[in-house]
Structures are given as structure tokens and as C-alpha cells.
Structure 1
Amino acid sequence: MWRSCRPEHVTASALVVDGAGQNTLLTLHKTVGRWLQLGGHCEPGDTTLGGAALREATEESGLTGLTIGREPLQLSRHLLLGGGCAGAYHLDVQFLVTATEGTEYVVSEESHDLKWFPLDELPADTDPSVQELAARAREQLSRA
């Protein structure tokens, strides 16, 4: 389950939304060069995939007090195009995570930038998988 360059390995990510469920915090990822949800590889200390997603979201944003949904929002399989594992696949377990109002984010070393965007108005260069994830989040939030 941990980071590897095998043909497929598990990752965990978090689509972080504000308390109102109207906006999402995306990262302009340094390696990929596109707006993505927060997330990454599972580490040996992670005991659950949800815990890994929360850890990654906190590390990449500096946000504290995040609340994660009880179940994954979506599963995604995507090909890695850059870096040392090009040609491998991520099996990404994606969670909906809510941020505490009033907390400030901090851009990490993994990002060019972080920014809040309306869930229904993501930037044109947002990865299509994130567009799909945001649509799922809007659907789930509308039922809450």
C-alpha cells in the first residue's frame, strides 16, 4: 500500500470544502502543473485511508480541525505521466473533507499555489478527474 513504483499503488486524497460546502481548496501541483485536490501516498504510520487523506490535506494546506466523511466519495485510477514513477497507476481513494471556518491555509513545498474556488466554477485548467470529483461532492452536499 505504501509508496512504490509498482504498476499500481494506493493513494488517498481529500476534496476540502468550506463549512458552507460552496468552495473547495485546490492545489496547483508542482509536478503535474494543474489544479488538483489535496492528497498523496500512504505512509507507514497511516492506519486508515481516511487518516492518510487527512494527514496529506493537513500537510499540504496547513489547515487544522478538518472533518472527513465516513465513506470515500469516489475511487479513481489514473496514469502517472511525470516523475520517477511515470507509467504507474495511482488507485486514489478520494474523501470529502470539511474545513473549519476562519482557518488560514499555507502553501507547502509540493504546491505552486493554493486557492479556494466555487465548487461549480473550477478553473479551466483543472484536471478532469477533479471536475468529476467536485460534481460528486456537489451531489452529496445537496442531499445533506
Structure 2
Amino acid sequence: MPHHDLTESAHAQLAEWQPPDDRQERLRVQYLAHLESHGRAALSKGGPPEHLTASCVVLSEDLAETLLCFHRKGKFWVQFGGHLEESDASLADGARREAREESQVAALELLGDVPFDLDRHALSGGWTCAEHLDVGFVAVLPRAAAFAVTDESEALAWWPVSAIPEDSADGLADRVARARRHAALLLEGRASHEQASR
């Protein structure tokens, strides 16, 4: 079960996060209430049927493509992500670990530790969980980076952001679009900062 520090870190991050719209604000309030009701169990696969997870949308450097995995159990294309673990110090750490494990890209880094969205979705058809309260982060990876399939997926592939596969997880196209907008703002901010510091 995730340790106490992760519970505090997750609560603090969600409390401080500035949602981009009213829908995301409603989810933020729901996530905080869930954490306050269940404590550390809210972050554990062994806790209540609904729990927080962390995921990572991986984009190419030009933000035109996204690296997805075809989930072995779910039978759909989806971003990297999953349950939090004892070793995770934060939601961002959990997202980074999952992305590295599922892509086998050890050097993968998040584009900042601020979430780009929240996505609450029900699960059905043989899952032990009833609902995931997912927190999404974004990473940028060179298109030529070597990746590998793991036992959790049947395939990994780059897909155009504008042409997410039809057999993908519900809402994935919208999440990838949000991740792309978030990444573009972060990269623009970095470029402006670097130019100003010259």
C-alpha cells in the first residue's frame, strides 16, 4: 500500500492544482473528497474499488505523434499508466515509473510534475477495480527512441495525435489533445525563459 508521504503529496498537489475548466474542477473536488474519506487506501489497488492512479501521455518532440500501448487485458490502445506503488514519492513519480516500465525507456522524463488533466472512468469486464481516478502527466520522447513491449501490452506504436486509433480507450483522443496543449504551453514557456536568460 502506498506510504503516508504519497497520500500527503497527492492531496497537496490536487489542492494546489489549477484546473483548466469547470469539469476538471469538479473532478478535482471529487478526488480530494475521495482522498479525505479513504486516506492512504484511496491510492492502493487493495483499497476501495475506486482509487487514484497515475498515467503519462508520451508525445514526440514536435508534438505531432503519441506513443501508445495496446493493453493486453483491456484490448485497446491507451497511454502508459497504472496503480501507484509503495516506492512512489508522488503522483508524478508514479506516472514516470509506469511510463518507463511499460515502454522500457529508462531515460523517459516527464515534462514537468504538474498534471495536465484528471480522468475518472469506470472499469468493467474482469477487472478487480471498479473505477480509476486517474491523474495525467505528459512526457516528450524523441521519435527515434528505442522502446519495447512488456507483458502488460501486445504492441507499442506511434500514432498521429490527429488520428488516434478507433480501438482505443474511451476518451483517449480528448486526453491526448489536452496533453498536447499542455506540452505546447510548457515548451513555449521554456523557450521564452531560455531566450530571456541569454
Q: TM-score, normalised by structure 2?
A: 0.67
Which residue is 1:47 aligned to? 89
Q: Tell me how far apart the structure 2 counterparts of residues 48 and 127 of structure 1 sit (CA, whole Å).
A: 25
Which ranges of structure 1 fall in alignment gaps of 5 or more residues? Answer: none
Instruction: Return 61-70 or 44-53, whichever deviates more.
Output: 61-70
Higher radius of gyration, 1 or 2: 2
Q: If each structure's helix is expressed as a fraction of its own residues, which one has the higher value?
A: 2
Which ranges of structure 2 fall in alignment gaps of 5 or more residues? Answer: 1-42, 189-198
Identity %: 37
Q: Tell me how far apart the structure 1 counterparts of residues 127 and 180 of structure 2 sit (CA, whole Å).
A: 34
Q: If each structure's strand is expressed as a fraction of its own residues, which one has the higher value?
A: 1
Which residue is 2:170 aligned to? 128
Question: Structure 1 residues 139, 84: closer, same or farther in 2, change over 3 A?
Answer: closer
Instruction: Return 130-139 or 23-32, whichever deviates more.
Output: 130-139
Is 1:83 the counterpart of 2:126? The answer is: yes
Contact 2:91–2:135 at 8 Å: present in 1 too? yes
Question: Structure 1 residues 117, 101: closer, same or farther in 2, change over 3 A?
Answer: closer
**Residue aligned with 1:67, SS:** coil
Contact 2:59–2:139 at 8 Å: present in 1 too? yes
| Cα drift, residue 117 of structure 1 | 0.4
- Note the aligned Cα RMSD (angstroms): 1.6
Which residue is 1:13 aligned to? 55
Q: Tell me how far apart the structure 1 counterparts of residues 147 and 159 of structure 2 sit (CA, whole Å).
A: 14
Higher relative CO (CA 8 A, sep ≥ 6), structure 1 or 2? Answer: 1
Question: Structure 1 residues 50, 141: closer, same or farther in 2, change over 3 A?
Answer: closer
Q: Tell me how far apart the structure 2 counterparts of residues 4 and 107 of structure 1 sit (CA, whole Å).
A: 26
After TM superposition, list the pairs within 5 Å mapping 1:1-144 onto structure 2.
1-4=43-46, 6-68=48-110, 69-86=112-129, 88-143=130-185, 144=188
Q: Tell me how far apart the structure 1 counterparts of residues 83 and 170 of structure 2 sit (CA, whole Å).
A: 20
